Copies of this chain bind each other. A is one copy, B any other.
Amino acid sequence: MANPLTPDVLVDPVELTRALVDIESVSRDETVIAGHVEDVLRQAPHLSTERRGNTVMARTSLGREQRVVLAGHLDTVPLNDNFPSTVVDDLIYGCGASDMKSGVALALHLAATLPEPGYDITYLFYEAEEIESQYNGLQLISESDPEWLQADFAVLLEPTYGVVEAGCQGTMRVLVRTTGRRAHTARAWRGVNAIHAAGEVLRRLDDYRARTVTIDGCTYREGLSAVRITGGVAGNVVPDECAVEVNFRFAPDRTEKQGLEHLHEVFAGFDLEVTDSAPGALPGLTAAPARDFLIAVGAEPAAKLGWTDVSRFAALGIPALNYGPGDPLLAHAQDEHVEIGKIRDGAATLHRWLTAYE
């Protein structure tokens, strides 16, 4: 199959967005799109390119003082009667239009057309972001080729609707368990009801006042939510066990360890079992390329509240932020789309930033 990512397409990030949307690439099925992207990168004489699985990496070696990463995932969630793309007025509709082929288009457009940027640039087009993290291409590269992630600053082109979303909150899930003693409900006083005991857990959740923390001008609002509750043996038995699963979203000034210590304070007297945990990422907006990037964007950053792959860079000590033309509220939606104006704005901003020092 001929590569639809022709030179004519690569010079126009809007056309490139459409072309990328029209290459089906549901997670675990990225071979075709990765092949086309690899071809484009290998044809650029200013880049050295490598491929691992369906992750394609390319970088300049211009001897610049600073190196930045531009990264985007090639995969999408499953199609939902939204393939191939369609255009209505200023909107490109299609699976992945927002999350995140419009972002990938910005990076691939720059890779193909900007031979002498002001920073050395590492481009990462990776597989399997939308599924279990064991398949995540960025995670796999951080293990197999960590030197490819080394940089002074990273931009993930995830959908932010043109806003800079810096850092990300951590997330932790714990089971809070209560225990009791079984009895027949006709003789309930002989037992101890573990579901009744869980009332105290829910009371503390209801009374909890979440912190709001401002770091580097970004405001993070924490949250502590019961996400599941289970208990019960049979319709005539006083239950001896109940478990409340709680999700703690914590600002990046807490480590995972500190987050867990906080939960032990909140739920003092109860057993806790951690079922899931991922650290947050500090916004890191004081690094020089980050400051320049904010100047190029010309708007205040906002806090990223969800968890994203910027945290993988943060774990390596690399400041990272999210910036992309898509609308995050449309990600994974059947009517996913992206505004053509946002793609052009994003391309202009990145170009301004990367050519300021030429």
Q: Do A235 and B173 have beta carbons less than 8 Å apart? A: yes
Chain B: minimal CB distance from A212 (Å)? 10
Q: How many copies does the complex hold?
A: 2
Q: How far is the CA of A189 from the CA of B239 in the complex (A)?
A: 32
Residues of B within 8 A of A236 (CB): 171, 227, 247
Q: How far is the CA of A184 from the CA of B249 in the complex (A)?
A: 11
Closest to A198 in B: B202
- Looking at A25-33, A64-72, A218-226, the stretch in contact with chain B turns out to be A218-226
Residues of B within 8 A of A224 (CB): 188
A217: Cβ under 8 A from any B Cβ:
no
Which residues of chain A in 287-323 are interfacial with respect to chain B, using CB atoms and an 8 Å cutoff?
Answer: 305-307
Closest to A275 in B: B235
Given A199-B199, A199-B205, are A185 and B249 neighbors across the interface (CB < 8 Å)?
yes
Chain B: minimal CB distance from A236 (Å)? 6
Chain B: minimal CB distance from A149 (Å)? 25
A268: Cβ under 8 A from any B Cβ:
no
Q: How far is the CA of A199 from the CA of B197 in the complex (A)?
A: 10
Q: How many residues of A contact B (CB 8 A)?
A: 49
Residues of B within 8 A of A221 (CB): 187, 189
For the complex, would chain A's binding face be called helix, strand, loop or mixed by DSSP majority?
Answer: mixed
Interface string of A228-253 (1 = CB under 8 A from B): 11111111111100101101010000
Given A195-B244, A196-B205, are A225 and B185 neighbors across the interface (CB < 8 Å)?
yes
Given A195-B244, A196-B205, are A234 and B239 neighbors across the interface (CB < 8 Å)?
no
A169: Cβ under 8 A from any B Cβ:
yes
Q: How far is the CA of A348 from the CA of B244 in the complex (A)?
A: 56
Closest to A230 in B: B230
Q: Do B239 and A228 have beta carbons less than 8 Å apart? A: yes
Closest to A188 in B: B223
Given A235-B245, A235-B276, A244-B195, are A188 and B225 neighbors across the interface (CB < 8 Å)?
yes
Q: Do B223 and A186 have beta carbons less than 8 Å apart? A: yes
**Which of B169, B195, B235, B307 is within 8 Å of A202, CB to CB?**
B195
Chain B: minimal CB distance from A94 (Å)? 23
**Which of B203, B234, B276 is within 8 Å of A203, CB to CB?**
B203
Which residues of chain A in 231-285 are interfacial with respect to chain B, using CB atoms and an 8 Å cutoff?
Answer: 231-239, 242, 244-245, 247, 249, 276
A60: Cβ under 8 A from any B Cβ:
no
Residues of B within 8 A of A198 (CB): 202, 229
Q: How far is the CA of A189 from the CA of B238 in the complex (A)?
A: 34
**Which of B173, B187, B223, B230 is within 8 Å of A229, CB to CB?**
B230
Q: How far is the CA of A226 from the CA of B245 in the complex (A)?
A: 18
A98: Cβ under 8 A from any B Cβ:
no
A193: Cβ under 8 A from any B Cβ:
yes
Apart from the given pairs A169-B186, A187-B221, 12 other A-B contacts in the complex at a CB distance below 8 Å = A184-B306, A185-B227, A188-B225, A195-B227, A196-B202, A197-B206, A199-B202, A227-B237, A227-B238, A229-B230, A232-B245, A235-B245
Q: Ordered nearest first, which 6 A-B pairs have the shortest CB separation?
A: A199-B202, A228-B232, A188-B223, A195-B226, A186-B305, A186-B306
> Which residues of A are interface residues toward B (Cβ below 8 A)?
169, 171, 173, 184-189, 191, 193, 195-199, 201-203, 205-206, 210, 221, 223-239, 242, 244-245, 247, 249, 276, 305-307
CB pairs A–B below 8 angstroms (6 shown): A171-B186, A187-B221, A188-B223, A196-B205, A198-B202, A199-B203
